[in-house]
Amino acid sequence: MKKQLLNILHSCLFLSMLTFYSCNEGESPAPDEGLDAERWVTVAGALMGDSPGDGNGGTQIYAVSYEDAINPETVIDVFENGTPVKSNRTARLQVSEDGNTMFNIAYAGENGGEYARFAVNGGGNYVQEDVTVNISQYAGTAPRWGKLYNDDKTGIAVNIANIAANNADNQDEFEYYRGTATVLALDLQETLIANYRQYELPLTAEEEAAGHCIFRLDAPVLNQAGDKVIIGTWMRKYDPLTGERESEWDRLGTKSIVVNYPSLENPTVISSTQAFGDCSGYRSNVNYLAEDGSIYQATQRDPNGSHILRITSGNEYDNTYKLSLDETLGLEDVYIEAWKYVNNGIGYALIRHGESDQSYVARLDLTNKTASLVNEIPDDADLSFHQYQGFLVSGNDLLIAVAPIGKDGNIYVLHSQTGEVTIGATLKNKAGNHYIGVF
Q: Where are the domains of the chain?
A: 97-281
CA dist 193 and 148 (Å) reads 15
In this structure, are residues 435 and 44 in contact, taking their beta carbons and an 8 Å threshold?
yes
Select the more confidently predicted residue: 1 or 398.
398
pLDDT score, position 2: 37
pLDDT at residue 10 above 70? no
In this structure, are residues 264 and 286 in contact, taking their beta carbons and an 8 Å threshold?
no
Among 67-81, 106-120, 410-424, whose mean pLDDT is lowest? 106-120
Among 3-7, 34-38, 346-350, 381-385, whose mean pLDDT is lowest? 3-7
Select the more confidently predicted residue: 108 or 42.
42
Give mean pLDDT, residues 20-35: 48
pLDDT at residue 15 above 60? no
Q: What's 97-281's CATH class?
A: mainly beta
pLDDT score, position 404: 98
For residue 392, give the nearest of 16, 39, 22, 133 by alpha carbon.
Answer: 39
pLDDT score, position 26: 39
What average pLDDT is seen over the chain?
Answer: 91
Mind listing the pLDDT tens digit for each residue in 352-391? 999 999 999 999 999 999 999 999 999 999 999 999 999 9
Mind listing the pLDDT tens digit for each residue in 112-138? 899 999 999 999 999 999 999 999 999
pLDDT score, position 288: 98
Q: CA geometry: angle at 165 spanning 162 and 169, to 5°?
A: 125
pLDDT score, position 347: 98
